[in-house]
Amino acid sequence: MTQTSSLHTLARRAGAATPPVVAARVRGLSDRAVAWLFITPTMLLLLAINVFPLIWTIRLSFTNYRANRPNAPLRWVGLENYTSILSDPDVWHAMQTTAHFVVWSITLQVLLGFGLALLINRQFRGHGLWTTVILLPMMLSPAVVGNFWTFLFQPQTGLFNHVVAFVSGRDPSSFQMIGDVTLAPWAIVLVDTWMWTPYVMLICLAGLRSIPDDLYEAAEVDRAGPFRRFWSITLPMVLPFLMLAVLFRGIENFKMFDMVNLLTSGGPGSTTEVASITLKREAFEKWRTGYSSAFAVILFVTVFGLANIYVKVLNGVKQR
C-alpha cells in the first residue's frame, strides 16, 4: 500500500515537473521494440494454430481430399463441394435444426434470465449466495452436462421424468425426452436453457445496476406508473446488455457440439442433428474431408456474417 501511494505522489510530482518527452527517452529497449517483442509471440501462435488451418480448410474445400486415404490422387473440383452442400437436403435440415435450437434456447434464456435479474436486483437479504448457486450450471463442462442429463431423462428411472410425473400426474415412463422424435429437439433446448439462463441473468443484472437511481426518481416526480417506468427506463437501459448476451449466446449455440453430441448425438434419426454434428459426421465418420471443409467454410462465413450485421445493429441501439 505504502509503495503504491508513494508511487502515486511521485507520479503526480513527476508529471507536473517533467515534460512527457522524458518518458520516451528511457534505458533499455525502445518502446517500439518492446511492443513488437510482446505482441509477436501471440500473433505467431494464432497464425500457426488458427490462420494456417483456416487457409488449409479453404484450400481443401476445393478438392476431393479424404483424410483416411492420404495417398489417393488429389483432384481439384472447383466449386463442386459448395454447390452440392447448398443443394443437399440433409444440410438444410441441419440448418433448420440449428435455427430451432438457437431461437428457442435464446428466447427462453432471455425471458428467464431477464426475469431473474429483475428479482435479484431487489437486493433482498442473501441474494449474493443464491446468485452464486444459480450461476453454477454455466461453469460446468457442456459435455459432462449432456452426459448426466441422459441419466436424468431415463424414462423409467430418471429424475426428470419422475418430477414431471409428480407435477402433471402422468406416468413417468409414458414419455421419452431423448428417444422421441417430437420431444428430443426440446430436450436439447431445455438442457441448454438450464445451463445458460444464468449467463443472460448475470449480464442483465449488470445492465440493471448501470441505471442511475435519479432516472427513477425523476419518473416518480412525473408520476409514472410501474409499467411506464419499466417500458421507458428499465427496458431501454438494459437492452444493449441484453443484446450483447444474445450475441454471445447466439455464436456459441450456432457452434453447439459437445452438449448435444453427448445428450442425443443427433438422434433419434437426425431430429437433433445440429450443424456441428453433421460436420463431424461428414469429416470424421464419412471422411469426406473436402466436402466437410466446404461446409466448415460456409458455417464460419455464416457466423461471421450474422455476428457482424448484429454488431452493427447493436451499435445503433447503443447510440440511441
Partner 1 sequence: MSGATPIPPRAERWRNRAAAAAVIAYALITLLPILWIVQTGFKTPPDSIAYPPKLLAEPSLEGYVNLFTTRSRQTPEYIAALPPADGWVDRLVRSRNMVVAGPSKFGQRFVNSLVIGFGSTVLAVFLGTLAAYGFSRFKVPLKDDLLFFILSTRMMPPIAVAIPIFLMYRSLGLTDTHLGMILLYTAVNISLAVWLLKGFIDEIPREYEEAALIDGYSRLAAFRKVVLPQAATGIAATAIFCLIFAWNEYAFAVLLTSGEAQTLPPFIPFIIGEGGQDWPAVAAGTTLFLVPIVVFTVILRKHLLRGITFGAVRR
Near partner 1 in 266-295, by CB under 8 A = 275-276, 279-280, 283-284, 289, 292-293
Instruction: Check residue 215 for interaction with partner 1 (CB under 8 A).
Output: no
Instruction: Provide the 10 A C-beta neighbour count for residue 9.
Output: 9
For partner 1, the binding residue among 76, 92, 151, 231 (CB under 8 A) is: 151
* Distance in angstroms (rounded) separating the CA atoms of residues 284 and 287: 5
- Coil/strand/helix, residue 76: strand
* Distance in angstroms (rounded) separating the CA atoms of residues 45 and 153: 42
Q: Which of residues 16-35 bind partner 1 (CB under 8 A)?
A: 18, 22-23, 26-32, 34-35
Instruction: Check residue 88 for interaction with partner 1 (CB under 8 A).
Output: no
Taken in order 148, 150, 156, 159, the sign of the CA dihedral is positive
Cβ atoms of 249 and 272 closer than 8 Å: no
Nearest-CA neighbor of 242 among 76, 111, 152, 97? Answer: 111
* Distance in angstroms (rounded) separating the CA atoms of residues 176 and 272: 14
Binding span for partner 1 by CB under 8 A among 80-88, 174-182, 196-204, 230-238: 196-204
CB of 281 to partner 1, least distance (A): 10
Instruction: Provide the 10 A C-beta neighbour count for residue 14.
Output: 12
Instruction: Find cell 441422459 and name the residue.
Output: 150
CB of 173 to partner 1, least distance (A): 8
Instruction: Find cell 454488431 and name the residue.
Output: 311
For partner 1, the binding residue among 95, 135, 233, 237 (CB under 8 A) is: 135
Instruction: Check residue 72 for interaction with partner 1 (CB under 8 A).
Output: no
For partner 1, the binding residue among 85, 110, 244, 260 (CB under 8 A) is: 244
Binding span for partner 1 by CB under 8 A among 83-91, 102-110, 181-189, 253-261: 253-261
Q: Which is nearer to partner 1, 183 or 224 (CB)?
A: 224
* Distance in angstroms (rounded) separating the CA atoms of residues 183 and 176: 7
Please tell me whether the peptide bond between 53 and the residue prior to it is cis, using omega within 30 degrees of 0.
no
Cβ atoms of 163 and 277 closer than 8 Å: no
Q: Which is nearer to partner 1, 42 or 319 (CB)?
A: 42
For partner 1, the binding residue among 119, 181, 309, 313 (CB under 8 A) is: 119
For partner 1, the binding residue among 94, 120, 178, 188 (CB under 8 A) is: 120
CB of 19 to partner 1, least distance (A): 11
Q: Which is nearer to partner 1, 1 or 87 (CB)?
A: 1
CB of 222 to partner 1, least distance (A): 12
